[in-house]
């Protein structure tokens, strides 16, 4: 993986485009931001963008393609969202229909792609600050919970905020807030510290998505708004066709993690 | 150098202690802060610390050893400032007397070591943000200038601020300010943008220390307070004995660069 870690995003995207890398993208192109993908028809694009604009913590938009164009001009001008993700999911009427490695044949002239910030960037910043990430240590998916916090609706899009949870050592909690505060484009500061019940979460050991992780005695559960939120919200409206990345199989942008820091 | 780049600070310090690495430390222990060293007798230590406290941009203190102790408890509890720097300079009455790789035989029971933040940390952050650093590109020492900005004096210590200059592309100047603002412990934000004359610098091609670098047509000279300031100020008082690191031969701390970010 060493080689993939130090490669440029454009070179990795080319390998993915040639189906030479059909696997999760964690650890690839170190230092560059990876993104969630949601593709909707233009008729839903405005409301979805407005929803994101109103709920920036759970829906931090990195780039939006021109209707019909698969090129993310801001995030990766040499990229193509139809081919540069290792694995896609096709949802029809809100139900997973199939997983594919290329969506060129599904592409329609009125489609709009949304690249949404992903927690890899702020997790990298936490690690750089010596703060451990439990689900990485335990080689699991991050635990995610549907909270009782309503998103601000926009058009047909409405729903509850999904939060990811990371157990943080008591003495690192303030620093974790500072570190992630710098990255509003990738979920930013936590939405809650310490009391799962306050979010309507009754059993921390039973996440709604992802895997449970160990929370030790000296650790505090800290919750961040999660990029699953916009996908879950969009899917709940059961659009005729919606395309996303498969979990962990992200779009690698040309944006440096550090460039996403507001200061 | 790849190996040295990824090694832990403590392991590199051990190699330096055994005189296995007598060379500049740039690029070693990537991600960890390196520090300037100034050692003074205890009788001058308070005034020097006060001077630093009053001039934090040019004299950002990372750690101060207990009088007589060579151990920097905050910055590197397993380190020893008498042995863990590749090359030292011994100044007597303000004049360079000799260069050595170990100062154990010079150490006195009333000596105090000051570890002072170094620009490597913020230069790394600039590079991470895609902002070029000319003197690194041209493989020169950074150009430094004595400015007309007086430091706030403390006791016997007084003098002018020395500034380092980096030519920054016009479109990156604001970002360079933001990026370096996060790191007040390593000189922080620039002290001046754009007009050398305003700092009393009459010829940008003739720095007082270091080497001149190319300034291109679309670039703006940006000035940061420089860690040479406290050494120059201390040396101007001509103490009987003062010990510093040799230029570029820094003390590698256990502090992560990112931990020095205020947010």
Q: Are residues A179 and B261, on separate chains, in Cβ contact within 8 Å? A: yes
CATH of domain A120-229: 3.30.2040.10
Low-confidence ranges of chain B (pLDDT < 50): 1
Q: Which residues of A touch B179 (CB under 8 A)?
A: 258, 261, 263
Q: Are residues A182 and B181, on separate chains, in Cβ contact within 8 Å? A: no
User: Across all residues in chain B, what is the average pLDDT?
Assistant: 94
Q: Give the minimum alpha-carbon distance from A41 to chain B in angstroms, rounded to a whole number.
A: 34
Q: Which residues of A touch B256 (CB under 8 A)?
A: 128-130
Fold of B120-230: PSTPO5379-like fold (3.30.2040)
Q: Are residues B256 and A125, on separate chains, in Cβ contact within 8 Å? A: no
CATH: 3.40.50.300, 3.40.630.30, 2.60.40.420, 3.40.1640.10. Which one for B2-118+234-260?
3.40.1640.10
Q: Does B69 touch chain A (CB under 8 A)?
A: no
Q: Tell me, what DSSP letter sits at residue B210?
A: S
| SS3 track for chain A | CHHHHHCCHHHHHHHHHCCCCCCCCCCCCCCEEEEEEEEEEHHHHHHHHHHHHHCCCCCCEEEECCCCCCCCCCCCCCCCCCCCCCCEEEEECCEEEEEECCCHHHCCCCEEEEEEECCHHHHHHHHHCCCCCHHHHCCCCCCEEEEEEECCCECCECCEEEEEEEEEEHHHHHHHHHHHHCCHHHCCCCCEECCHHHHCCCCCCCCCECCCCCCCCCEEEEEEECCHHHHHHHHHCCCCCEEEECCCCCEEEEEEHHHHCCC
Residue in B31, B182, B259 nearest the CB of A263: B182
Q: Does A131 touch chain B (CB under 8 A)?
A: no
pLDDT for B262: 83
Q: Does A178 touch chain B (CB under 8 A)?
A: yes
pLDDT for B50: 87
Q: Which residues of B touch A3 (CB under 8 A)?
A: none
CB-defined contacts A:B, below 8 A: 42
Q: Are residues A130 and B259, on separate chains, in Cβ contact within 8 Å? A: yes
**With a CB-CB cutoff of 8 Å, which residues 20-39 of chain A face chain B?**
31
Q: Are residues A129 and B256, on separate chains, in Cβ contact within 8 Å? A: yes
Q: Are residues A258 and B182, on separate chains, in Cβ contact within 8 Å? A: no
Q: Does A179 touch chain B (CB under 8 A)?
A: yes
Fold of A2-118+237-260: PSTPO5379-like (3.40.1640)
Q: Does B259 touch chain A (CB under 8 A)?
A: yes
Q: Does A263 touch chain B (CB under 8 A)?
A: yes
Q: Are residues A256 and B181, on separate chains, in Cβ contact within 8 Å? A: no
Q: ipTM beyond 0.85?
A: no
pLDDT for B235: 85
Q: Are residues B130 and A263, on separate chains, in Cβ contact within 8 Å? A: no
Residue in B128, B256, B259 nearest the CB of A256: B128
Q: Give the minimum alpha-carbon distance from A94 to chain B in angstroms, rounded to a whole number.
A: 39
- pLDDT (tens place) for every residue of chain A, 263 residues total: 458 999 999 999 999 999 999 999 988 999 999 999 999 999 899 889 889 988 999 999 999 999 999 999 999 999 999 999 999 999 999 999 999 999 999 999 999 999 999 999 999 999 999 999 999 999 999 999 999 999 999 989 999 999 999 999 999 999 999 999 999 989 999 999 999 999 999 999 999 999 999 999 999 999 999 999 988 898 889 999 999 999 889 999 999 999 998 87
Residue B234 three-state SS:
helix
Q: How many C-beta atoms lie closer than 10 Å to residue B230's C-beta?
A: 26
pLDDT for A1: 46
Residue in B31, B128, B256 nearest the CB of A258: B128
pLDDT for A2: 52
Q: Are residues B182 and A262, on separate chains, in Cβ contact within 8 Å? A: no
Structure tokens at B44: 């001058």
Residue of A nearest to B124 (CA): A258
Domain A120-229 in the same topology as domain A2-118+237-260: no
Structure tokens at A176: 């974790």
Q: Which residues of B touch A132 (CB under 8 A)?
A: none
CA-wise closest residue to A120 among A248, A262, A3, A259:
A248
Q: Are residues B258 and A179, on separate chains, in Cβ contact within 8 Å? A: yes
Q: Which residues of B touch A175 (CB under 8 A)?
A: 259
Domain ranges of chain B: 2-118+234-260, 120-230
pLDDT for B2: 52
Q: Give the minimum alpha-carbon distance from A253 to chain B in angstroms, rounded to a whole number.
A: 14
Structure tokens at A3: 């080689």
- How far is CA B200 from each of CA A89, B72, B148, B189, rounded to the nearest angstrom? 63, 37, 5, 20
- CB of B116 closer than 8 Å to CB of B230: yes
pLDDT in tens, A168-224: 999 999 999 999 999 998 999 999 999 999 999 999 999 999 999 999 999 999 999
Q: Which residues of A touch B257 (CB under 8 A)?
A: 128
Q: Does A258 touch chain B (CB under 8 A)?
A: yes
């Amino acid at each position: 993986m060493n080689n993939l870690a130090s490669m440029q995003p454009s070179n990795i995207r080319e390998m993915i485009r040639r189906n030479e890398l059909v696997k999760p993208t964690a650890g690839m192109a170190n230092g560059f931001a990876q993104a969630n993908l949601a593709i909707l028809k233009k008729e839903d694009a405005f409301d979805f963008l407005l929803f994101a604009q109103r709920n920036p913590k759970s829906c931090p938009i990195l780039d939006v393609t021109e209707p019909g164009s698969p090129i993310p001009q801001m995030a990766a001008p040499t990229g193509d969202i139809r081919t540069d993700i290792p694995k896609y999911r096709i949802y029809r009427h809100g139900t997973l229909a199939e997983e594919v490695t290329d969506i060129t044949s599904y592409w329609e002239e009125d489609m709009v792609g949304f690249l949404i910030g992903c927690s890899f960037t702020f997790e990298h910043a936490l690690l750089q600050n010596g703060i451990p990430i439990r689900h990485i240590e335990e080689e699991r998916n991050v635990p995610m919970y549907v909270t009782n916090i309503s998103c601000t609706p926009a058009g047909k899009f409405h729903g509850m905020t999904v939060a990811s949870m990371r157990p943080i050592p008591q003495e690192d909690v303030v620093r974790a807030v500072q570190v992630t505060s710098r990255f509003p484009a990738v979920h930013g500061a936590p939405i809650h510290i310490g009391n799962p019940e306050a979010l309507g979460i009754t059993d921390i050991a039973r996440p709604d998505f992802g895997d449970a992780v160990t929370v030790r005695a000296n650790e505090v559960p800290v919750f961040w708004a999660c990029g699953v939120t916009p996908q879950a919200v969009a899917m709940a409206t059961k659009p005729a066709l919606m395309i996303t990345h498969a979990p962990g199989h992200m779009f690698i942008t040309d944006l440096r993690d550090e460039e996403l820091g507001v200061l």
